[in-house]
Amino acid sequence: MKDLKHMIFFESLLQDANNDLVRKAKSEGRHPIGYTCFHVPEVLMNLGSCFSVRLRAPNMGSTEIATYYMANSACEYSRALLERSIEGNYKFLDGLLGVDVCEPMNRCMENMEILGTCGTDNDKFVKCYLDLPYSDDEDCVIHLEEQVTRKILKPLNENYGVDISDEAIRQAVEEFNEVCRIITEMGEMKTEKIPVITGSEFHKIVLCTYVCPKKDILPYLRETLEELKTRQPDTKNKYKARVVVVGSEIDDPDMIELIEEAGALVVADRFCYGSIPGRSEIKLTRDEPALTQIIRKNLRDTECPRHCSEHKMQYRKDHVKELVEHFHADGAIYEQMKFCTYWSYERTLASHIMPEEYGVQVLSIDRPYRSIGSGQLRTRVQAFVESLEIKKIKAKRLQESGEVK
């Protein structure tokens, strides 16, 4: 296919947390607010002069210093963020919002604060830590709404003069929803037999929407969407299988490229930093405050295995099955960052439950933060693709012989 006009620009934005659009916004007096987790409502960091930057550590090498302060059994994502923070890469931030989701991220944020790696030269620096409920009932909504109001909205208003009224929140939701609609429309293009966008291209574009100011990335998104509508797909399908990727944090485009180079088109991205569920529209009514509706949607949409109530566990499995069917996938790849406790349980259970109870073939892997040099991972994905291909060949032969109707 013809190269997308802005793809090189999108890729350049992913080379540094303090990328060109972030620096431009900062120079205009806007305030970048860093965060790491879906459970901090993203839209609320994009009120007034503030904008959200989801933290990454691109091109990370050694994490020796971070390992000294944490432990070598902490997930590599948390260590990579602390290492990059110690190097000074997040000093541009005007706020840092954390969530009590897992022990490694707790320690990462704690060390950032103790070591003074960001915010030390800004007496208005906003920092907080949200206590996350384990479920999504109305008591949990009330609990989280109170925290968000007290720990995020009021400090943004007091320190940076941000309008936190109901109407201001609704305006921020409108801008957020436009990003979501564009990303969703691009994602739906992968339901086609030969899509006009690859999983790797899509992942890079989605990542840019997490790490750049929304108003500044939107013109490039609009133009890219129009370009895709007239882009001619490859004349021949070069992939042997279609897969849904499910799991923990992936902000490394090399991971998706590795899977696609092994012969599997990534048709759905149900992982942290993916479009599902992070790029679903927030549909508001006038029946209750916008903030309440945002909090409720965030709690109900999350697919993090930290939510361990029975209906949430069931929902996660059912949703993977739905994605496999909707995107005509041949199987799913369950992945976890090494040493991620929550996803290690989810991945292990799914490797048995999904094939046996849902008929979904699964590859179960744990992986390093950066995957580009992992020959073992590439070999495992290639073997999985071959197994899916063999299964399709056998099914076709049975169908042609009349044994399967």
In a domain, 142, yes or no: yes
Would you say 46 and 52 are in contact if contact means Cβ atoms under 8 Å apart? yes
219: left (phi over 0), alpha (psi -120 to 50) or beta: alpha
In a domain, 118, yes or no: yes
What pLDDT, on the 0 to 100 scale, is given for residue 285?
A: 97
59: left (phi over 0), alpha (psi -120 to 50) or beta: left
Banded model confidence at residue 403, pLDDT cuts 50, 70, 90: low
Helix or strand holding residue 35 (H, E): strand 31-35
Helix or strand holding residue 77 (H, E): helix 76-86
* pLDDT value at 397 more than 90: no
The length of the chain is 405
Would you say 34 and 42 are in contact if contact means Cβ atoms under 8 Å apart? no
Would you say 241 and 330 are in contact if contact means Cβ atoms under 8 Å apart? yes
Banded model confidence at residue 143, pLDDT cuts 50, 70, 90: very high
- Which residues face 126 on adjacent strands? 95
What pLDDT, on the 0 to 100 scale, is given for residue 393?
A: 86
pLDDT digits (tens, 9 = 90+) for 378-396: 999 999 999 999 988 888 8
Residues 377, 255: Cα–Cα separation, whole Å: 10
Residues 307, 135: Cα–Cα separation, whole Å: 6
Judged on CB neighbours under 10 Å (0-12, 13-18, 19+), 138 is: exposed
pLDDT digits (tens, 9 = 90+) for 45-95: 999 999 999 999 998 888 999 999 998 899 999 999 999 999 999 999 999
**CB crowding 242-262: b at 16 or more within 10 Å, else e:** bbbbbbbbbbbbebbbbbbeb
What pLDDT, on the 0 to 100 scale, is given for residue 396?
A: 81
Helix or strand holding residue 334 (H, E): strand 331-337
Q: What is the mean pLDDT of residues 246-258?
A: 93
Q: What is the mean pLDDT of residues 192-207?
A: 97
Sequence-distant (6+) residues with CB within 8 A of 280 are 180, 184, 301
What pLDDT, on the 0 to 100 scale, is given for residue 60?
A: 86
Other C-beta atoms lying within 10 Å of the C-beta of residue 186:
23
Helix or strand holding residue 182 (H, E): helix 166-188
How wide is the angle at C-alpha 365 spanned by C-alphas 75 and 244, nearest 5°? 110
Q: Tokens 């007091």 — which residue?
A: 158
What pLDDT, on the 0 to 100 scale, is given for residue 386?
A: 95
What pLDDT, on the 0 to 100 scale, is given for residue 398?
A: 82
How wide is the angle at C-alpha 56 spanned by C-alphas 298 and 63, nearest 5°? 130
In a domain, 375, yes or no: no
Sequence-distant (6+) residues with CB within 8 A of 156 are 33, 47, 48, 50, 95, 126, 162, 164
The residue ranges of DSSP E strands in 92-224, in sequence order, are 95-99, 126-130
What pLDDT, on the 0 to 100 scale, is given for residue 308?
A: 86
What's the sign of the alpha-carbon dihedral 213, 216, 217, 222?
Answer: positive
* pLDDT value at 405 more than 80: no
pLDDT digits (tens, 9 = 90+) for 213-244: 999 999 999 999 999 999 999 999 999 999 99
* pLDDT value at 404 more than 60: no
Query: 321 phi and psi, to 5 degrees?
Result: -60, -40
* pLDDT value at 264 more than 90: yes
pLDDT digits (tens, 9 = 90+) for 8-55: 999 999 999 999 999 999 999 999 999 999 999 999 999 999 999 999
Domain holding 41, by residue range, is 13-165
Residues 62, 193: Cα–Cα separation, whole Å: 41
In a domain, 92, yes or no: yes
In a domain, 192, yes or no: no
* pLDDT value at 182 more than 80: yes
Other C-beta atoms lying within 10 Å of the C-beta of residue 314:
10
Number of helices (H), then strands (E), belonging to the chain: the values are 15, 8
**Side chain identity at 281, as an amino acid letter?**
E
For residue 399, what are its two tokens?
């169908």
In a domain, 61, yes or no: yes
Mean pLDDT, the chain, rounded, equals 94
In a domain, 76, yes or no: yes
* pLDDT value at 173 more than 90: yes
Give which of 399, 393, 365, 392 is closest to 242, Cα–Cα.
Answer: 392
In a domain, 144, yes or no: yes
Would you say 332 and 246 are in contact if contact means Cβ atoms under 8 Å apart? yes
User: For the chain, how big is the Rg over CA atoms in Å?
Assistant: 21
What pLDDT, on the 0 to 100 scale, is given for residue 387?
A: 95
Counting the structural domains of the chain, the total is 1
pLDDT digits (tens, 9 = 90+) for 273-328: 999 999 999 999 999 999 999 999 999 999 999 888 899 999 999 999 999 999 99
Q: What is the mean pLDDT of residues 329-333?
A: 97
- CATH code, domain carrying 36: 3.40.50.11890
What pLDDT, on the 0 to 100 scale, is given for residue 212?
A: 98
Would you say 303 and 316 are in contact if contact means Cβ atoms under 8 Å apart? yes
Residues 202, 268: Cα–Cα separation, whole Å: 10
